[in-house]
Structure 1
């Protein structure tokens, strides 16, 4: 099969980029003809390893800067393209020049399967992709995360997709209500667990990872940890990641007088070693798609304390079996979950073992056959009614 994956910036960092690159690599390994198309290019080399059998191309090269687009970005409402709606999180990228490049590309295709990976690209594919191209939309966030300007366009145009792929059963139910009659399939992202060392639950470390942005709720995690820190003087909190909220979070650490007990660790090339050397993973997000960092932590047999935010944590965790779920944004409840785990190594061991078993459901050996089945069904010209059997 000929597969084309379109990403906004295949040369950048981020969970969606990593997930799509891993999927493209797996499809190439399985013998398919695979290409990754990056809408923009702002680096010389990709940040994630791309199989040599996967072709990589870019539509708009911005390595020399984006000066030619800077004025258009400042007056985006006047100079933007016509399809990407205001409110799409990456709308600022889609100047008229960039949107036109995507339209020209998708309208020029002749056959094969086109997989687009965010609402902006999905909407352009839905409205402009050439006839004869099998179109699959990937959604990496839950529907409620988008403003109404984006949801309205999704409702108006996603009905022409051959399939819309989402990450969780909760998201699948949401999209089925909005897109009656459109095939919605649930296929989670894959996590590589080979060689992952399990935590022995002896190190007094709570760990968290993700972009330093409000969505991840690290401000609430710091408040929760500060509430229990005096009871557990040996324990430390380590938050891995980079992002625009770094200075604000440092101020919060100072406000809570956590000193060296809570640290922003930045980006690490040995995150899996860090996970194995911790004892508790904390997920404090205000909203999620599918929390891949949490599932990776579960692969290290870490006990998890998580907000039951929309969506994702509740689709993965069963509270008391493989982690502890607490109500969304309830800092006191999150502090209580941390207290239980920090005080009880036997509980951490039991929940960590359950977490490791659950994580096996997200390995490439389980997930990639679901994609192959979906693509084979669509390439054969068969219309999905409720998704392929394995992807339900």
Structure 2
């Protein structure tokens, strides 16, 4: 099969990029003809390892900077009207040049399978795709997390797709309420688990990982830990990742007098070792799709304390069996559950062992056949089961 994956920025960092690269690599390994098409290019080299059999290229090269200024973007919006709606998280990427390049590309694809991977690209594919290729929309966030303008466009145009792929059963129900006749398939992110060393729960370290952005709720994690830090003087928090909220988060750490107790670690090339060296994983997100970093932590036998935010944590965590769910944004409760796990090593070990078992359900060996099966069925115009990809 010819399979084309379209990303916003295939040369960047992020969970969506990593999962799509993993898919592309797996499909190439299975013998398919695979391309990754990057809407823009702002780095010379990809940040994730891409199989040499996968062709990678970009529509718009922005390594020398973005030429369109804000006035030009506003004029484009007034004069032509954007397909990409206001409120899409990446709307600022879609200057006149970028949006026109994407429209031209999707209109030119006349065979194989075209997989688009975020609302902006999905909407352009739905509205401007040639209709000759099989079109699949991937959604990596829950529908309710999007701006109302984005949800309105999704509800108008996603019916053009041959299938909509979501990460969780909650998301499947959201989309089925809009599109009952379009195949809505659940295919979770895949996380490789081989050679994962389990934590022995000996180090007094709480770890978190992800982009330093408001969505991840690290401000709440800092506040939660500050409420219990005095009671547990040997414990520290390490937050791995980079992003635009770094200065604000450091200021919060300073204000809470948590320097030396909470550390912004930046990006790490040895995150698996860092997870092995920790004893608790904290997921403080305000919203999630299906959190890959949490699955990876569970693969290292780390118990998880997570806000029960829309989709994601509750799809993975069974309360009290393999982790702990806390009411969304309840900082005091989050701190209390961290404290409970800190004080009970046997509980950490029990939850961590069950977490490692759960993580095995998300290995490439389990997930990738779902993608290949979907693409084969779509290519053969075979019916797609309503519960395709359901967890059993």
Q: Please list, as runs of the form range in 1=range in 2, the aligned pairs for 1:250-261 lying within 5 A after superposition.
A: 250-261=250-261
Deviations 1:88-110 (A, max 9, x none): 11111111211111111111112
Q: Which runs of 5+ in 2 are unaligned?
A: none
Deviations 1:136-163 (A, max 9, x none): 0000010011111000010000011110
- Residue 219 of structure 2 contacts residue 252 of structure 2 at CA under 8 Å; is this kept in 1? yes
Q: CA deviation at 1:71?
A: 4.5
Q: Give 1:27's aligned residue.
A: 27
Q: Give 1:189's aligned residue.
A: 189
Q: CA deviation at 1:241?
A: 0.8
Q: Give 2:128's aligned residue.
A: 128
Give SS of 2:228's match: helix
Q: Please list, as runs of the form range in 1=range in 2, the aligned pairs for 1:275-354 lying within 5 A after superposition.
A: 275-354=275-354
- Tell me if 1:379 matches 2:379: yes
Q: CA deviation at 1:336?
A: 1.2
In structure 1, distance between residues paired with 2:179 and 2:128: 19
Deviations 1:29-77 (A, max 9, x none): 0000100001111111111111000011111111121124565246563
Q: CA 1:342–1:376 in 2, change beyond 3 Å: closer, same or farther?
A: same
Give SS of 1:351's match: helix
Q: Give 1:46's aligned residue.
A: 46
Note the aligned Cα RMSD (angstroms).
1.5
- Residue 84 of structure 1 contacts residue 94 of structure 1 at CA under 8 Å; is this kept in 2? yes
TM-score, length of structure 1 as denominator length: 0.97
Q: CA deviation at 1:27?
A: 0.3
Q: Please list, as runs of the form range in 1=range in 2, the aligned pairs for 1:7-86 lying within 5 A after superposition.
A: 7-68=7-68, 71-73=71-73, 77-78=77-78, 82-86=82-86
Q: CA 1:355–1:80 in 2, change beyond 3 Å: closer, same or farther?
A: farther
Q: CA 1:148–1:282 in 2, change beyond 3 Å: closer, same or farther?
A: same
- Residue 187 of structure 2 contacts residue 389 of structure 2 at CA under 8 Å; is this kept in 1? no
- Residue 81 of structure 1 contacts residue 99 of structure 1 at CA under 8 Å; is this kept in 2? no
In structure 1, distance between residues paired with 2:9 and 2:226: 37
Give SS of 2:227's match: helix
Q: CA 1:70–1:42 in 2, change beyond 3 Å: closer, same or farther?
A: farther
Q: Please list, as runs of the form range in 1=range in 2, the aligned pairs for 1:353-372 lying within 5 A after superposition.
A: 353-372=353-372
- Residue 73 of structure 2 contacts residue 96 of structure 2 at CA under 8 Å; is this kept in 1? no
Give SS of 2:325's match: strand
In structure 1, distance between residues paired with 2:385 and 2:45: 41
In structure 1, distance between residues paired with 2:190 and 2:84: 29
Q: CA 1:233–1:91 in 2, change beyond 3 Å: closer, same or farther?
A: same
Deviations 1:8-41 (A, max 9, x none): 1111111101110010000000000100001111
TM-score, length of structure 2 as denominator length: 0.97
Q: Give 1:97's aligned residue.
A: 97
In structure 2, distance between residues paired with 1:76 and 1:250: 38
In structure 2, distance between residues paired with 1:239 and 1:76: 40
In structure 2, distance between residues paired with 1:365 and 1:256: 45
In structure 1, distance between residues paired with 2:280 and 2:80: 45
In structure 2, distance between residues paired with 1:358 and 1:351: 11
Give SS of 1:203's match: coil
- Residue 42 of structure 1 contacts residue 62 of structure 1 at CA under 8 Å; is this kept in 2? yes
Q: Which runs of 5+ in 1 are unaligned?
A: none
In structure 2, distance between residues paired with 1:248 and 1:80: 37
Q: CA 1:151–1:306 in 2, change beyond 3 Å: closer, same or farther?
A: same
Q: CA deviation at 1:111?
A: 1.2
